Each structure stands twice: as C-alpha cells, then as structure tokens.
A and B are shown apart, each in its own frame.
Chain A
Amino acid sequence: MIRILIVDDHPAMRAGLIAVLRAEPGFVPLDAAHSDRDLWPMLNRTRPDVVVLDYHLPGDDGLVLCRRIKRQMPAPAVLLYSAHADAGLTIPARLAGVDGLVSKSAPANELYDAIRRVARGERVLPPISRELLDDAGNRLKSDELPILGMTIEDTPLLDIAATLGVAPAEVAHRIDRMIKRLKLEIPAPRSAG
C-alpha cells in the first residue's frame, strides 16, 4: 500500500488525481494541498510515502518545495507532476532531490507506474544527456560544478560538504542558488506555451 499526498493549485486537478489514485489498487490518496501553506500541516499529520507535486504553484514552485520536503525525516519520495515536464527540467529536478518527473499529459498508467517506482526507491527521471550537462555547465559558476557532479553521482550532502571543506548549510545554500539559475527557461522558444 502506497500512501500518497497531492499538491496542486487547481481544484479540478486535485479532484481528478484523488479519484484516479483511489481507483487504483494499492494506492491510498491521503489528502490534497493547494499550496505550501496547507502542505506542512498535512505532511506532518499524514506522513505519506510519495508526494505528487505540481511544478507551477502560487508562491514557491515545486522545486523549492521539494527541497524543503526532502529535509523532513524520514523524507517521502517526491514525484514532480508538471505540464512542462521536458528534459530541461531534469538537472534542476535532480539537484532539488526530485525522484520522478511525469508530464500532466501522460496517461494514468504512466503516473501509476512512476508512483510505484519512486515508492520503491527508484528514480524516474530522463537521462542526463551531454547537451544538458554542457548547458548547465555554461550557466553555473565554476565552483558550483563539483557540487553538480557529486549530486549527479548521488554523493550525500555531508560528503560533498566534507570534500569541499565547507559547512553543509553552505552547500545547501549553493544548491538552492544553482537550482534558481538552472530552472530559467532554456533558450526561451517562441513556442513556449
């Protein structure tokens, strides 16, 4: 049984997700938050296995929320559920500790599958291609690149801090800054819709 918490700012999407997840055997949708404000009490009350998290939210976006959710002990798996789940989001999602990325236009099966896999501790993210890395490398400062490399290789935060010889809080702060810089739209296409 997988216990799931939903975060989405649109009522139709919250209702749809709850209905769909309730209908699937093995899933228990616990509650649905519409922003970060009602998320924290719910998170503490329900202790979910998986959080299905919208990317575009009023206030802080899904990546920022994910960072904070992942600071919980024990942290639930986080599935970023976005209308714009394209490859450009992969590296910032990885830095933010997102376990899975699913497009809102994907059929329910894909969502079920992703939820089961992240609940098992697997990662459901697009592979990080050389282009994505090059692009990220161009937009990050040179002292941030080791953090990116170690994060991609799943080095724990404390080890990264030890390797770089800085405080863990400083590493966390740098990661926040890197996410902010990377999630800016990649060469903003005219077709960005």
Chain B
Amino acid sequence: MTSRWMTLLLMTRLLAAAVAVLLLLVHRVTPDDPVLIGAGVAYTAGSLLVLTTVPRLQLSPAAWLVDGAAALALVVASGDWRSPFYVLMLTALILPATSLPFRRALGWGLAFTLAYLGVAVSTDLDADVLESTIRVETIATHLMVPLVVVLALAYAADVLDRLRDERLRSERLAVESERQRIAWELHDSAKQRVHAAHLVLSALQNQVDGPEAQLVSHALTELRAAGADMDTSVAELRTPLEGRSVQRLLEERAAELAPVSEAQINVQGTVGELPAHIAAHIYRIGAEALTNAVRHGEAEHVDVMLARNGSTATIEVRDDGRGLPAIRRPGSNGLRSMRARADTIGATLSLGPGDGGRGTSVVLSWPTDSDGGSSHA
C-alpha cells in the first residue's frame, strides 16, 4: 500500500518542484532566486532519493517531521507565505496522511497547518494583510488547503485499507470453506471406504494361512496407515498446524489440558525442524499420548521429553500414574491410531512401564536425515 502513496508523492513533488522553479524563473520573486531554485531542487531530489532508497523511512514519523520542516524552511527562505514552494510543501503531508490512522492523520494535518500559520506570521502576515478582504481570503485558503489535502488522503487510505482487509477476509473464508469441504469428503466418504475395505480384508485373515496370511496382514497394515494419513490430513485441514514446531504445539496442547487435568505437565527439549507432513503425524501421536496420560493415567506428573540425537529423534511421554491396563480396553481406538500413524512415517512406537515400574512411558522414535526429516518420507 505504501508504494502506491510513494508513487503519488514522487509525481506530485516533482511536478510541484517544476512549478516552483518556473515561477521563480518567470516572476523573479526575490533577489536570491538562483539560490532558492538550487535549494528547492536539492530538497526535492534529496528527499525523494532518501525515501526511495531507504523505504523504512517512508513509515518513520521522524522522517516525516524532517521532511515537513525542510519544506516549511523553503517557504521561510522565500520570504513570503504565498511562496512558490507552497505546493511543494503540501507534498510533505502525503506520507503521514496515508500512513497514520485516520484521527492521528487529521491531528498531524492540524499541527502542520498551525506550523504554517506560524511561518506566515513570521514572514509577512501583519495588520496590513488582515485589513484587505482578498488577502484574508487568501490566507484562509492557504490554511485550509493542507487540512483538505490531509482529510482527503486519510479518507482514501482508510477506505483502501478497509477494502483490502475485506478482500483478505473473504479470501480466507473461501479457503477455509474449501478446506472444510475437503475434510468432510475425506472423513465422511474416503475414510469410510477405507474402514470398509479394512473390515472385509480382516475377515479374510482367519481363513488363510502361510504366505497369504502375511500378504493380508501387510495389506491391513497399509489400510490402517491410509486411515491414519487421512485422520492427520483431516485434522490438518480442520486445524492447520501452520508450521509451528512440534515442541510449541505440544506446549499448547499441555496448556489446553491443564485446566481439566490434576497432573503437572512439563514439556522440554526439542526435535528441531521437521518436514510438515512428518511434524503433523509426530505432533498428533505426541498429543494423543499426552491426552491418554492425563485422561486415564491418574498421574501426578506428566513429562514430555523431546530429543534429537544424531540421526534419531525421540519423543517420550512419561507419567507416574497407574500404568498400562493389563487388558486392552475394548473399543479403544487411540493406541491403534497412534501405531498406524507411526507406521505411515516409519517411526517406532513403544509402550512400557515407566521408571521403577511405575506409570507409563510411551516412546516414539524415528530416523532423521541431514534435512531433519524422516528418511522414510
């Protein structure tokens, strides 16, 4: 947005400088016209050069202040408030008027107008001027113009900003609804077919043995992994991780669980950068392990430890709760989906009793290559 206003500044200031130089050449305003022309050209060229080479200054109030002061100085130097540099001076209002919020922009315009009034008083504004109607009108006009310029520019900038925000918002909404639609299709249709295929194939498992049984079991593993991939994709589509690190995400999950948990949850260490697909699976396995520890473990402490050691990365979720149930809870889906997710990224998941046989320890480890990703991917 700034670049558009910078173009406006560039064009108007060059034009205003040309007008000022022409006026000085044609009308011979003061005895020092050549010096004034030099100063005007130097101000125009210098200010535009600095503002275009250091774009940061386009948004700096200090730079606007220097620019405005220099423009007013030119007016003072020309010895009269009806200066040939008047329009050039107005261009110093473009950047503050378009960059500041609406009210502040108006404040800036008002301050500038007062400064100009000061200049006018210090140069040629005296009782003589105020007695003549035409001259009073002229000074009033000269005082009004900066305010009108600032008002118009600030209003335009404000409207453009709103339009841009609105467009961004509607684009975001469009992307969001598309994501929801894809998630819905994955979850409500493709996933159901995978479940059905898994069920049908698993019925075959009892009826074959030997190498065929191995084939069936291999196909079942693949189907479970496909289901897990879909779960992760659906979760990604519904609540994208947006490139946040696994550690950060687990910390956020811990914070989410804190109000409903009596356990002290502690997340430490890091696994470094991971490719997005790997990170999504790793996070969701870790989050599931953490949730299980909090929900079923009757734990007082849950520690989530992330580590990267050479070519292996690990996440351990350890609690001091009541440990793994002797028999698996019927219908418990969590562990199955954790294993399936681990399979799909070539990670190993192991569960066992924690330190000293107390609680549960869930360890997820996966090989990383030099890029940080799983070598499986």
Interface residues of A (CB under 8 A from B): 10, 12-13, 15-17, 19-20, 23-24, 56, 83-88, 100-111, 114, 124-127, 129-131, 135, 186-187, 189-193
Contact = CB atoms under 8 A, between A and B. Distances in A.
A20 B207 CA distance: 12
13 contacts: A12-B196, A16-B199, A83-B195, A88-B295, A103-B332, A105-B195, A106-B336, A107-B198, A107-B202, A108-B200, A127-B329, A192-B238, A193-B235
A13 B196 CA distance: 5
Contacts, number: 133
B137 to A, nearest CB: 67
Given A87-B296, A192-B238, 17 more contacts: A20-B203, A85-B331, A86-B334, A87-B295, A100-B331, A103-B331, A104-B195, A105-B198, A105-B336, A105-B337, A106-B331, A108-B202, A109-B202, A125-B331, A130-B298, A189-B256, A193-B234
The secondary-structure label for the interface of chain B is: helix
A126 B192 contact: no
B180 interface: no
B193 interface: yes
Given A187-B260, A190-B235, A87 B284 contact: no
A101 B256 contact: no
A10 B192 contact: yes
Contacts of A110: 330
A189 B291 contact: yes
B252 A190 contact: yes
A114 B329 CA distance: 13
Nearest to B284: A191
A17 B203 CA distance: 10
B206 interface: yes
A127 B116 CA distance: 82
Identify which of A24, A86, A186 gathers the most chain B CB atoms within 10 Å of its CB. A86
Nearest to A113: B330
B206 A109 contact: yes
Interface of B: 187-189, 191-193, 195-200, 202-203, 205-206, 220, 224, 227, 231-232, 234-235, 238-239, 249, 252-253, 256-257, 259-260, 283-284, 287-288, 291, 295-296, 298, 329-334, 336-337, 340
Given A102-B331, A190-B287, A193-B235, A129 B296 contact: yes
B287 A131 contact: no
B189 A10 contact: yes
Given A87-B296, A107-B205, A192 B235 contact: yes
A189 B253 contact: yes
A193 B341 CA distance: 12
Given A20-B199, A124-B331, A193 B260 contact: no
Nearest to B232: A193
Given A10-B188, A13-B195, A191-B284, A105 B333 contact: yes
Nearest to A135: B260
Contact of B224 (A56, A105, A111, A124): A105
A87 B196 contact: no
A193 B231 contact: yes
B220 A107 contact: yes
A12 B295 CA distance: 34
Contacts of B202: 107-109
Closest 7 CB pairs of A and B: A16-B196, A107-B202, A193-B235, A108-B203, A10-B192, A101-B331, A193-B231
Given A131-B295, A189-B287, A87 B257 contact: no
